[in-house]
Structure 1
Amino acid sequence: MSTEPRLTPLPADEWDDGVRHALSPLLPASHATPDFAGNILGTLVRHQPLTHAYLTFNAHLLRESTLSARLREVAILRAALVSRSDYLWDHHVPLAQRAGLTDDDIEGVRVGAAADGVDAAVVRAVDELAESKTLTDATWALVREHLDERQVLDLIFTIGCYQVLAVTVNALGIQPEEH
């Protein structure tokens, strides 16, 4: 994995209405600024149509998903971890805490030993999808004990969405924001 950025965020003087439109599925115009958007979105807007399409999908998963915010963050954290994306892990730990995960819950997700049954099912699903790109019948049955069919679809798409984002962050060498 690159330690140097391969693409950097679009310079502030190049932000225009096209950039704001690209970010609009996720960010209101008032927040479509280089400082607020951060390094991921600031880099992705180098390809505005792709960014708009991806963020439309991502916004559904963040705002319209049938998964609870808590369960969504379990899936995202584990996807970030198995994709070796420290950037996404670091960004989503505070979101997971706001969604109700305790430090012990987050550690369980990190080590693959979630204490909660539904969390454990989600961790197992993320791991299998990352490794084999499918779910075993046993994991499918376990996930279905906890989730209805729409939730299962949202779960699988959330995992895949964040795996794609992790691959992008890693391949582009997107750097953490300086605070």
Structure 2
Amino acid sequence: MLLLMARIPYQPPDLGEPRLVVEAIRQRRGGRLLNLDRMLLHSPPYALGWNRFLGAVRGDLVLSPRLRELAICGVAVLNGAEYEYQHHAPLFLQAGGTPAQLAALSNWEQATTDDRRFDPQERATLRLTFEMTRNVRVDDETFALVKATWPDPRQVVELVGVIAAYNMVSRFLVALEVEPE
């Protein structure tokens, strides 16, 4: 495991100001500040916006939590975001994913066609995650598969949004070398 040292010192774990921002983040986090929060709090407006946005992504979508967490874990693996993976792999398992599925993410080409470990929705999720993360542009065949898998546009928008949001998260974490707790 690669040992990281954050490129910018974290804000202190007992930070109290700006009070409303810190309280909002602590409330979403069950009373504590994670290293990610302590890094974000160098910019209180950014931290507040991040907290609200990611809170909605994590708690207000109709997209299945299992598929959401599969996409997030996939983004983390593809981008080498160990922090993101460590936080979301347990959530994927809690949502019904399996350790074998997590292990399969290390070989993307096989995972997107592995019908023993992944059902059709999961394979479509993986394919979209890979293309959005590695290529940015999604090919027409993949997008047609996604639309056929989720005929409700809301779920398609939410899945695309989750993948985009967690690419943002992983890029922030990796660029600043935020360390897992």
TM-score (norm 2): 0.86
**CA–CA separation in structure 2 for the residues paired with 1:102 and 1:109:** 11
**Cα deviation digits, residues 124-177 of structure 1 (max 9, x gap):** 101111122121111011111222211111111111111111111111111121
Which amino acid in the other structure matches residue 140 of structure 1? F
Cα distance, 1:90 vs. partner?
1.3
Which amino acid in the other structure matches residue 154 of structure 1? E
Alignment match, 2:119: 116
Could you tell me which of 156, 159, 164 is aligned with 1:155? 159
Structure 1 residue ranges (4+ consecutive) displaced by more than 6 angstroms after TM superposition: none
Gaps of 5+ in 2: none
Are 2:9 and 1:8 equivalent residues in the alignment?
Answer: yes
Alignment match, 1:28: 27
Are 2:65 and 1:69 equivalent residues in the alignment?
Answer: yes
Higher helix share: 1
TM-score (norm 1): 0.86
Aligned length: 172
Gaps of 5+ in 1: none
Change (3 A) 1:29 1:165: closer
Change (3 A) 1:2 1:56: same
Identical positions, percent: 26
**CA–CA separation in structure 1 for the residues paired with 2:12 and 2:93:** 32
Alignment match, 2:50: 54
Which amino acid in the other structure matches residue 64 of structure 1? D
Alignment match, 1:89: 85
Query: Alignment partner of 1:175: what SS?
Result: coil
**CA–CA separation in structure 2 for the residues paired with 1:30 and 1:171:** 23
Are 2:170 and 1:166 equivalent residues in the alignment?
Answer: yes
Query: Alignment partner of 2:105: what SS?
Result: helix
